[in-house]
Structure 1
Amino acid sequence: MTVKKTRTFEDVLAQIERRIADDGLTVGDRLPAERQLAEQLGVGRSSVREAMRVLETLGVVSSQVGRGPDAGAILTSRPDTALTDLLRLHLGLATLELREVIDTRLMIERWSAARAAATRADTSALADALTGMEAAASAEEFVEHDTAFHCALADASGNRLIAAIMRSLRDAMRRYAVEAVERLGDPSLLHADHHHILTAIRSGDPDEATRAVADHLSHAYPALFGDTP
C-alpha cells in the first residue's frame, strides 16, 4: 500500500502553479479533474479542493461541474502574481503572535458574520463544519473543523479578499486554536458558540452575529479579553 505524503494546501497551490506553467496552459484551458489532480500530485482530494477554492477566490480559475472531458476548472488568468503574493503573505504570517492573530480575526470575523447575516448567505459549509466538530475525537480534529468553520464564515461574507486573508491565517489560527481547546479540556462551550453564530446568521440578525463572534473569541482566549489574570 502506498502512503501519500500529506502536504498543506499552500504546497498543493505551488504544485498546481508548476503544472500550469509546465503544461503551457493558457486562459480558457481546462485543468485536470479533482480526482486526477490528486493522483498526479500524490495528495488527498480535500487538499486539491481547498487549493482550487483559493485559486477561484483569486480569480485564477472558474469551477466547472461535469464528468469526463467536461470535468475540471477553467483557467481564467495566469496565477503568477496572485499566487506568489498569497504564498508570500502566508509565510509572513507564520511568526504572528497570539494577540495579533486574534485582533485580526475579531475585525474580520465580526464584519463577515454581520455581512453574512444581512445578506442571508448560504450557511451549508458552516453547518458541515459544525457536524465535523461534533464527531471530532481529539483537539486536533476539532480544530480542523473549527478552522474550516471560520474560513467558511469569511467565504459567507461574499468578499474574496477577506476569504483569501482568512485562509492565509489558517496555520496561525490552527496553532493557537489547538492550545485553546486543550486548555479548556472540554470543547462543548466552543461548540455552542459556533451554533450561536450560525443561528444568528440564519436568523438574519447582524448585531447578534457580531456579538456571537466576539463572545466566541473571548471564551477561546479569555486572557486577551480580561477574563483571566
Structure 2
Amino acid sequence: MPDRRRAERSVSERPTTDRAHDAVLRHIEDSLRSGDLRLGDRLPGERALAEQFGISRASVRDAIRALEVMGIVRSATGSGPNAGTIVVSDPSSALGSALRLHVASQRLPVKDIVEARVMMETWSLAHAAAAPWEPAQLAEPRRLLEAMDDEALPSAAFTALDAQFHVALSALAGNAVVSTMMDSLRESIRGYVDEAVLAHGEWHSIVEELRRQHRGILGAVEARDGERAARLVREHIEWFYAQTL
C-alpha cells in the first residue's frame, strides 16, 4: 500500500511540475519579448515565483533546474553579483549536451552529424566571402592556429582548439543561428573523435596534416575565396572523419 500511495502521489504531482515549468518558461519568454527582462537579469527568488504562479517552491526548483539544463538560466547559491538565477540564454551549450547524449545512445549516427556539420560549415565559409567582417576578426583563428602548432599539445587539447577554430571561422558569415547549430554539432562528436584518435594510434601523422589543412582553409578565408574555402573545409572534415573510422 505505501508504494501504491507513493506512485499515486507522484502521478498527481507530475502535472504541477510540468505546469510550473511551462509557466516559468512562458514568463521568461514574454518578459524577454517585451523588454521587461534582459540577458544578465536575475529572476525573483523561489518564494516570489511560487507566490506569483501559485505553485510550491519545490515545483519552482524543478522548473529552474529544467530551464538550466536548457541553457536559459544559470543558478548559483550564496550572495554577490553572480548569485541567484540569472538569464543567460546559452543555446549552443544546451543543444550540444542534448546531441552528445543522442549520439552516445546511437540514436543520431556520427556519420549523419558529420554530414550536417559539412553542410553548415561549407555554407558558412562560402557566405563569409561576401560578409562584412573586418580583418581584425581573423586574429582569433590565427591565435588558435599558433596554439595548435605546439608539438607537446595532447590530442584532446588540440581537438578542443580545433573546435574553436572552426566556430570562429563560421561566425564570419554573420548568421547567429548557423553558428550556434554548427558549434553544437561539432561539440556533439568531440568525445567520439577523442576516443577514436587515441584508438587509432597514429596521432602524430594525423595532426601534421590537420595543421596543413587548417592553414589552407584560413588562407582561402583571408582571400575571401568562398568557393575554395568551402571545398577545403569539406575535404578537411571528411578526411578527418575517415581517419577515425
Deviation for aligned residue 1:88? 5.6
CA-to-aligned-CA distance 1:124-144 (integer Å, 9 cap, x gap): 221122122112521011111
Match status 1:117 vs 2:129: yes
Match status 1:130 vs 2:142: no
Deviation for aligned residue 1:29? 8.1
**Could you tell me whether the CA contact under 8 Å between 1:120 and 1:202 is conserved in 2?**
no
Other structure's SS at 2:129 match? helix
**Closer, same or farther: CA 29–125 of 1 in aligned 2, 3 Å:** closer
1:87 is aligned, of 86, 94, 98, to: 94
Gaps of 5+ in 1: 1-20, 33-54, 61-71, 73-77
What CA distance in whole angstroms lies between the structure 1 residues aligned with 2:92 and 2:235? 33
**Could you tell me whether the CA contact under 8 Å between 1:120 and 1:201 is conserved in 2?**
no
Q: Which amino acid is the alignment partner of residue 128 of structure 2?
A: A
Match status 1:199 vs 2:199: no
1:213 is aligned, of 233, 241, 245, to: 233
Match status 1:105 vs 2:120: no
What CA distance in whole angstroms lies between the structure 1 residues aligned with 2:100 and 2:122? 20
CA-to-aligned-CA distance 1:48-86 (integer Å, 9 cap, x gap): xxxxxxx9xx9x9xxxxxxxxxxx9xxxxx65xx65796
What CA distance in whole angstroms lies between the structure 2 residues aligned with 1:221 and 1:29? 37
**Closer, same or farther: CA 123–88 of 1 in aligned 2, 3 Å:** closer
Deviation for aligned residue 1:167? 2.5
Other structure's SS at 1:111 match? helix
What CA distance in whole angstroms lies between the structure 2 residues aligned with 1:85 and 1:210? 23
Q: Which amino acid is the alignment partner of residue 198 of structure 1?
A: L
Residue in 2 that maps onto 1:167: 183
Deviation for aligned residue 1:123? 1.9
1:156 is aligned, of 157, 162, 172, to: 172
Match status 1:185 vs 2:185: no
Deviation for aligned residue 1:195? 0.7
Other structure's SS at 1:204 match? coil
Q: Which amino acid is the alignment partner of residue 188 of structure 1?
A: E
> Percent identity between the aligned chains?
27
Residue in 2 that maps onto 1:9: none
Residue in 2 that maps onto 1:5: none
Gaps of 5+ in 2: 1-27, 29-35, 43-70, 74-81
CA-to-aligned-CA distance 1:78-134 (integer Å, 9 cap, x gap): 65xx65796266414532321011101100000111112233633222112212211
**Could you tell me whether the CA contact under 8 Å between 1:115 and 1:206 is conserved in 2?**
yes
Deviation for aligned residue 1:200? 0.1
- Structure of greater Rg: 2
Residue in 2 that maps onto 1:75: none
Q: Which amino acid is the alignment partner of residue 125 of structure 1?
A: E
**Closer, same or farther: CA 92–216 of 1 in aligned 2, 3 Å:** closer
TM-score (normalizing by structure 1) = 0.58
**Closer, same or farther: CA 180–217 of 1 in aligned 2, 3 Å:** farther
Other structure's SS at 2:153 match? coil
Residue in 2 that maps onto 1:45: none
**Closer, same or farther: CA 211–83 of 1 in aligned 2, 3 Å:** closer
What CA distance in whole angstroms lies between the structure 2 residues aligned with 1:141 and 1:97? 24
**Could you tell me whether the CA contact under 8 Å between 2:91 and 2:180 is conserved in 1?**
no
**Could you tell me whether the CA contact under 8 Å between 1:196 and 1:212 is conserved in 2?**
yes
